[in-house]
Chain A
Amino acid sequence: MEEGSTVLERQKQIQELTNRKYDAGFVTDVEQDFFPKGLSEDVVRLISAKKDEPDFLLQWRLKAYRHWLRMTEPKWPNVHYPQIDFQDVYYYASPKTDEDRPKSLDEVDPEILATFEKLGVPLNERARLAGVAVDAVFDSVSVATTFRETLAEKGIIFCSFSEAVKAHPDLIRRYLGSVVPYSDNFYAGLNSAVFSDGSFCYIPKGTRCPMELSTYFRINAADTGQFERTLIVAEEGAYVSYLEGCTAPMRDKNQLHAAVVELVALDDAEIRYSTVQNWYPGDKDGKGGIYNFVTKRGKCAGPRSKISWTQVETGSAITWKYPSVILQGDDSVGEFYSVALTNNMQQADTGTKMIHLGKNTRSTIISKGISAGRGQNSYRGLVKVAKGARHARNYTQCDSLLIGDKCGAHTFPYIEVGNPTARVEHEASTSKIGEDQLFYCLQRGIKEEDAVSMIVNGFCKEVFKKLPMEFAVEAQKLLGVSLEGAVG
């Protein structure tokens, strides 16, 4: 009965949509390229059908959707933005065809090209980053293919989420939602219902991944869409280092981004996850920037496993993300290294959660927040030591640097300890760039802007040294570029 009515409702709705927007016979054609705006159970079903997903995944999406309907948007973050109309969003669009893309670099926004120049992005990469049609970009496909062969030899699976659903449904079924359940929070729920694509990575037992994995090397990785879903599983004794994002400014027509990243580390496994996020932050008055509402969580499921998050957040109008680690296995280790920069009207509410469940678990949190212009930067963290987590150890340091008198830096560290053998330490400081440091540089003929960039980079050094080499170099330049106009 209920099912019958759903079908009827669905048909009726599709009929309506058909009449409204597409007179030319739009029925339940799964071949279409995008769906009309709005979210309903049918849209979820259509996304799943479109991707030819197995039934378990559709059911999971539907459960997520039904649960999401009962959830409310979180109001506690220290960020302000106009109410989002979730019915005014496109929930599925197929990857851009080459016709939509700029044909060559000449068609790309000169402002973006100027930024590439400052960042020192190699010429042949600029085209790819700016979204020029793949045919026009030299060579990156063949490079990626070579990498992929090397990985396959080792038994490492690294592919898009959709591919993984088809090729390894058992793995997806076992691990999807095991770290971030669909009921976790509002945006994770939304993502679970409508996620478009993302990366899947599986490192078999005892394997050390021979290279830094990055979506960069994944064919067709370019348009994973706004509801990205990433799942990384490291089996016993495996090691992988994963890079996400890039330092070049990313333009995107979608304002709302709600990604979910899940990491699972089994016994003795290690996962390092590095992010450089530089989405469009909006103009000087904060118009048009990306809302980045991300749920990232790792689970140290096995003993002696380790998960390490490193993030450099310079983009987005609003950043809302707390890469977390559940330290379930005994002797497991969680790390969080973060640099978050807000300039102009940007707002960031970011931090981490370290949940100590196993014995002798250790976690380190190093957070560096930089506020400039009228930016508002909040660190929000939770360190929780459960009753049975004997000899848990946490060290937290969160420092803020303020540039200019119109910005703000806030810290909300929650510390919950339920075991006397735990050692938890938290330190935080807030300061501005020292007059004497600045004077020293100016006196030696270094321009004020360069001096500030140098001092800020020094402030962030502890985090940058955790990034893979080439990323670190780019991240340093990125900070300089992002701070432009903050001084003087």
Chain B
Amino acid sequence: MDARESLLAAYEASKGQIGLGDSDRIRTLRRDALESFADLGFPRTSNEDWRYTSVSKMTPLEFKRPSSFQPDGSASTELQRLRSVFLGGTAGRMLVFLNGRFLPELSSFNGEMPGVETLSLAAARKSHSDLVEKHLARYATLEGRSFSALNTAFHEDGAFVHVAKDVAAKFPIHLVFVANGPERPMAIHPRNLIVLEAGSSASVIQSYVGLACESYLTNVVTETVIGENAHLEHFKIQQEGRRAFHISDLRIDLARHGVMSDCSIAIGGSLARNDVTGNLRAEGAECHLNGLYMVTGNQHVDNHTTLDHVSPHTISRENYKGILDASSRAVFNGKVIVRPDAQKTDSVQSNKNLLLSENAVVDTKPQLEIFADDVKCAHGAAIGELDEDALFYLRARGIPRAEARALLTHAFASEIVDRIRWDALRRRLDGNISLWLSSSSSEAQEVS
């Protein structure tokens, strides 16, 4: 039995448990999605969107549905520790999900934020059925995406965030997804829905952490709906376990003058695929995508972004940076589409990669598809190693080679991290980068 068959069998087996509170629409959608997945199977490298990313490591596995949704002793202590690290002593809400299911006892709701509702999607199905019905699965269309189809068929829980009209959420909202279970390998399909009504603003931080060192699959779909003049600041910090597969599909729907600032940090996982699709469907919409990926060992990270300028006067800015060590591989595909009526579109995209090792490989494809004439679109990509002159400058001042390399690499990464205005998050990421560098520079030293 391969992964596709095992997943289909798992669906059959859990029929009574998945999708109990579904509306008719969602029920039909699930069925269609399952059919679509059964039909498509896992993507192959002959598919242009998966040209450089092979999921062949995943396909022989027999994925199971997680059965345990309570942390055992050691996991519980670890979660307490993470909690203090993530919140960093500041107020804010934190929703913890274990194996894709909401864990209220570890979540915290300190910090008053009237008009801001944060709950599990499973609970929202009952308490906010109208909103869920209005938005869920309206944006994440399937279009031949097998993993999104898989999520749509299998999703059980996830986060639901709703910010009422003209409300500014004071504190960041943390969504923490933890994987730890006896099943191996297990497949987790979190589904998140973030809705910002007109004139509102909020910061949402999604963190993915793996406590298990076994291989598992996190296959998440997040839909963000940003109303008129609303502003969402969104972070996704992916630190899955070393043997994990992380597949993510983020959809952004932007109304008139809506603004999205997204930042995606990918450090963990053995295979990580990150799809971000921004639909700038109304005038004045603005979408900022920033990303940082740091990989080493045999890690493979793939970032696919699509910015679809549908309406005139829309703005997009994209900056993805990557650091690759050992035998890692990174893929970047940034597509910018300017539709025939989207005049005055202003788009800038950049992808820069730093190679620290002889065996690292980068495949990048910044892609433009433009059907309107009065537009400003630029994109750039660069791949290279550390600047010899800068390295020389530091070494001439007595800084050892390894330290100088780490310093310069850190500086390369900090362009993305320094922009984060939440101190706790920035400190945490800075720490992560330093840790990553110290562990990978020791490998580099051995080589040189």
Contacts and interface: CB of A to CB of B under 8 A. Distances in A.
A447 interface: no
Contacts of A405: 340, 343, 372-374
A140 interface: no
Nearest to A378: B369
A402 B373 contact: yes
B55 interface: no
Contact of B383 (A400, A404, A409, A424): A424
A409 B337 CA distance: 10
B381 A426 contact: yes
A413 B377 contact: no
Q: How large is the interface on B (under 10, 10 to 19, 20 to 34, 35 or more residues)?
A: 35 or more
B381 A424 contact: yes
Given A405-B340, A415-B362, A415-B365, A425 B380 contact: yes
B300 to A, nearest CB: 14
Interface stretch (A51-59, A181-189, A429-437, A459-467): A429-437
Nearest to B379: A428
Nearest to B341: A405
B20 interface: no
Interface string B341-370: 001000000000101111111111111111
A242 B358 CA distance: 39
Q: Which bucket holds chain A's interface residue count?
A: 20 to 34
B381 A415 contact: yes
Interface string A415-426: 111111111111
Given A402-B373, A404-B373, A405-B343, A427 B360 contact: no
B109 interface: no
B418 interface: no
B396 interface: no
Nearest to B332: A415
A432 B365 contact: no
B391 to A, nearest CB: 13
Contacts, number: 116
B382 A425 contact: yes
Contacts of B48: 76
Nearest to B373: A402
Contact of B361 (A406, A418, A432): A418
B363 A427 contact: no
Nearest to B348: A429
A408 interface: yes
A345 interface: no
Given A400-B370, A407-B373, A416 B361 contact: yes
A402 B363 CA distance: 28
Given A405-B343, A413-B381, A423-B383, A430 B365 contact: no
A426 B358 contact: no
B373 A412 contact: no
A457 B357 CA distance: 44
A10 interface: no
A414 B365 contact: yes
A414 B363 contact: yes
18 contacts: A400-B368, A402-B372, A402-B375, A403-B373, A408-B371, A412-B365, A413-B366, A415-B365, A416-B362, A417-B361, A418-B360, A419-B355, A420-B384, A426-B381, A428-B378, A430-B375, A430-B376, A431-B376
Given A416-B363, A426-B379, A430-B370, 20 more contacts: A76-B48, A408-B370, A410-B369, A411-B366, A411-B367, A411-B379, A412-B365, A412-B367, A414-B363, A417-B383, A421-B385, A423-B383, A423-B385, A426-B364, A426-B381, A428-B380, A429-B376, A430-B368, A430-B375, A430-B378
